[in-house]
Amino acid sequence: MSSTCHPNPQEQAYLDLVSEVICDGEKRSNRTGVDTFALFGQMMRWDLQRGFPLFTTKTMAWRWVVEELLWFISGCTDSNVLSQRGVKIWDANGSAEFLASRGLTENRAGDLGPIYGWQWRHFGASYRGCDADYTGEGVDQLAHVIETIKNNPSSRRIIMSAWNPADLDKMALPPCHMSCQFFVSQPQRGEGSEEERAQLSCMMVQRSADLGLGVPFNVASYSLLTHMIAHVCDLDVGEFVHVMGDTHVYVNHTDPLSDQLERIPFPFPALRIRRKVESIDDFRFEDFELLNYKHHGRVVMEMAV
């Protein structure tokens, strides 16, 4: 089927990349003990004007995507908080056994250390455990990103990083999605109508990209973050650009992914934010509505821990 008549060429490009990695990837060992097939240095682009990239060739856990992102934005590092909301994706990495394997014997179960959201909101502060109050400590990168987009949208320094070498040994897992950069595109003079607004795009760099389980989740998460920041900055959305270093498929994912590769993607849904939200900290799950989300059934894959 040609790309011009394909119902969803963007998701098909993801499926084509999965197939390429399985067929041509280098077989590699890694810390989990489950080998992968891997290629290095891949990129995908998602036009957020053409729909919200929540994959359709399998059932996606939309609530988990939203709740984890809200948890990141809050700066929380306690996996129990997320688990109590029914989102279990960090439970294994927050177990006492896993934390001990990382040398984090002083962390109570659930204390993941200074991971993603904490770096976003308190970069450079001294981590004292997930129960400490860090109000006003460190650099609030997310707030700085939003302030810069509003006041200096042509800046080339609108960057947020979760990769902090000084804190890596304190984290349950070093960040896979390491950093993101934002870019504001202004409507070109003489094009379109006066109603056109500037567009916000995001480029995320991921050092380790698990194509089967992680990447579909990561694409949805950073696309949602782009929508949220655009909303509070009164911008439209542009593109999400996904740059991947070690781009891999676990060997035990090849069979379920082979089944997924046989499915034809449906068009992406639309995302609607139900109310005007002024602050990035004020979003809640009920603010987001997916429109016309049609998808195939589940694809079961085991997470390598």
The catalytic residue positions are 176
**CA pair distance 276, 288, nearest whole angstrom:** 11
Task: Give the C-alpha distances (Å, rounded to integers) separating 142 from 46, 148, 160, 225, 243.
Answer: 22, 10, 7, 11, 20
User: Is the separation of the CB atoms in 263 and 55 below 8 Å?
Assistant: no
Query: Quick one: tokens of 247?
Result: 């781009």
φ, ψ dihedrals at 27, nearest 5°? -80, 125
DSSP state of 155: -
> What would the 3-class secondary structure string for 67-126 be?
HHHHHHHHCCCEHHHHHHCCCCCCCHHHCHHHHHHCCCCCCCCCECCCCHHHHHHHECCC
Nearest-5° Cα angle at 75, 94 to 232? 140
